Amino acid sequence: METSSVATPLLLHYSCGYVDITVDSVLFNDFQYTGKLAIGLLGLAEMGKIVFGDNLPVLQGLPDASVDLIYIDPPFNTGKRQERDRIKTVHDEANGDRTGFAGRRYQTIHLGKSGYEDVFDDYMAFLAPRFEEAHRVLAATGSFFLHIDYREVHYCKVLLDQIFGRDSFMNEIIWAYDYGARSKKKWSAKHDSILWYAKDPSDYTFCYEEMDRIPYMAPGLVGKEKAARGKTPTDVWWHTIVSPNGKEKTGYATQKPLGVLERLVKVHSKPGDLLLDFFAGSGTLGEAAAKLNRDYLLIDNNPEAIQTMIHRLAPTNPELIGFDVVCQDNRERGLTANRQPPSIG
């Protein structure tokens, strides 16, 4: 889906009696669900929902078989705090500390850090009820994708085999990248795993014709026609991480590349389908869904994630659930939140 850009910054007022914020500088305090509001941006069609809250009760409120694709990228239980520096650069030939295009010098300005504690006492006990709800809400022809790293993937597969059934396991997709420091004591870990389960392994959405093509490693061995067409990917996907200095970056600590999510969305869903990410983070699934004319439901309980998603997905005019909000544009137009219980059906 093509989306237009927002010409003016949104002013969001979280009306809990003590918080006033903008999407570029959000300060949150803890509070309970108090209602919902579809934010009206002039000239933009409403698409998608962003939910602020614990994902388990939200999942429990969804109807059976109501979601066409689920992708989740939960905390990896690394035992460490996940953080990313947020920076911007400005052109400064005299004092620049980095070099850009055509040798121009730029100065780095540190904006702060984003992150969260990635530690769980019993990781499988945390994930199990959420996997069970994911299986329940997934449509009959739907697919579930778990993005996880090498520390936990084997435990997660055993758990998912129990919930979905071993026959529903379709692939372990390896996302391989080549970035960052190297270990001098072991083979450097430069991949994540994406486990794919189909709700019904005999009948699931798989649009082969929507696959992108990648170059042959030895094009001279396959002929000019095949080399020009390229080949379909295997279950090993080479794709760079989100560049710390690229336009795609949001500053969120564990942001995943849009290209990886777009490939999943194109092949495993159809236009108009509803896509769910209940560890939504920076909202990459939402952006992929919107670009490809799918609907999305994103859930997260991290205020920094909510801030990032509101800003990133504003052009799609998402409905915000789990807080009261007033939206004003530069003409001081606004809508006030209602006091009805949240509904995401």
Both 268 and 324 in one domain: the answer is: yes
Q: Percentage of the chain surpassing pLDDT 70? A: 68
pLDDT value of residue 95: 77
How many CA within 13 A on the CB side of residue 319? Answer: 17
Residue type at 324 in one-letter notation: D
> Which tens digits make up the pLDDT trace of 187-233?
999 999 999 999 999 999 999 999 999 999 999 999 999 999 999 99
Confidence (pLDDT) at 245:
78
The answer to whether residue 345 sits within a structural domain is no
Q: At how many degrees (to 10) do helices 284-291 and 303-313 cross?
A: 20
One domain, residues 51 and 143? yes
Which of 118, 135, 161 is the last residue in one of the domains? 118
| pLDDT one-digit tens code per residue, 155-176 | 999 999 999 999 999 999 999 9
Give the pair of three-digit tokens for residue 94.
């005299």
| Res. 295: pLDDT tops 90 | yes
Instruction: Let me know if residue 26 belongs to a domain.
Output: yes
User: What would the pLDDT profile of 234-269 be if each residue is shown by its tens digit?
Assistant: 999 999 988 877 888 888 888 999 999 999 999 999
When pLDDT is cut at 50, 70 and 90, the band that residue 120 belongs to is: low
Structural domain contains residue 343: no
What's the rounded mean pLDDT across residues 138-149? Answer: 97
Domain count of the chain? 2
The per-residue DSSP string of 295-324 comes to EEEEEE--HHHHHHHHHHHGGG-PEEESS-
Q: Among 12-16, 86-90, 218-222, 251-255, which stretch is predicted with the lowest mean pLDDT?
A: 12-16
Contact 146, 163 (CB under 8 A): no
Question: ∠ CA(17), CA(48), CA(42), 5° rounding?
Answer: 70
Q: Of 68, 98, 118, at which residue does a domain stop?
A: 118
Say yes or no: 113 and 221 in one domain: no
Is 275 in the same domain as 210?
Answer: yes
Q: Classify residue 48 as exposed, middle or buried by CB count within 10 Å of its CB (0-12, 13-18, 19+).
A: buried
Instruction: Read off the CATH number of the domain in which 292 is found.
Output: 3.40.50.150
The share of the chain scoring above pLDDT 90, in percent, equals: 55
- Cα 340 to the center of its chain, rounded Å: 28
Residues of the domain holding 222 = 11-83+119-328
322 located within any domain: yes
Do 20 and 62 fall into the same domain? yes
Q: Is residue 335 part of a domain?
A: no
Cβ distance 5 to 327 under 8 Å? no
Is the domain of 213 the same as that of 165? yes
Q: Cα–Cα distance between 100 and 111 in angstroms, integer?
A: 20
168 and 231, same domain (yes or no): yes
My answer on whether 26 and 130 are in the same domain is: yes
Residues 205 and 91 in one domain: no
Main-chain dihedrals φ then ψ at residue 227, nearest 5 degrees: -65, -40
Distances (CA, A) of 109 to 88, 105, 196, 246: 5, 13, 40, 15
Same domain, 76 and 102: no
Q: What is the pLDDT of residue 254?
A: 84
State the pLDDT confidence band at 103, using cuts at 50, 70 and 90.
Answer: low
* Residue 281 resides in a domain: yes
Is residue 5 situated within a structural domain? no
Specify the pLDDT at position 115: 45
Task: Look at 53-67, 128-142, 212-226, 239-253 and tell me which has the smallest mean pLDDT.
Answer: 239-253
Q: Are residues 243 and 134 in the same domain?
A: yes
Q: What is the mean pLDDT of residues 128-132?
A: 96
* Mean pLDDT for the chain overall: 77
Q: Which amino acid is at 115?
A: G
Quick one: pLDDT at residue 22? 34
Q: Is the pLDDT of residue 298 over 80?
A: yes
Instruction: Specify the pLDDT at position 225.
Output: 94
Whether residues 60 and 94 share a domain: the answer is: no
Q: Is residue 268 part of a domain?
A: yes
- Please check the confidence at residue 81 and state whether its pLDDT lies above 90: no
CA distances from 23 to 26, 242, 312, 318, 328 (A): 6, 22, 10, 14, 12
pLDDT of residue 249: 87
**Residue 76: pLDDT band with limits 50, 70, 90:** low
Q: Cα Rg for the chain, rounded, in angstroms?
A: 21
What global pTM score does this model have?
A: 0.73
Average of pLDDT values for 301-313? 90
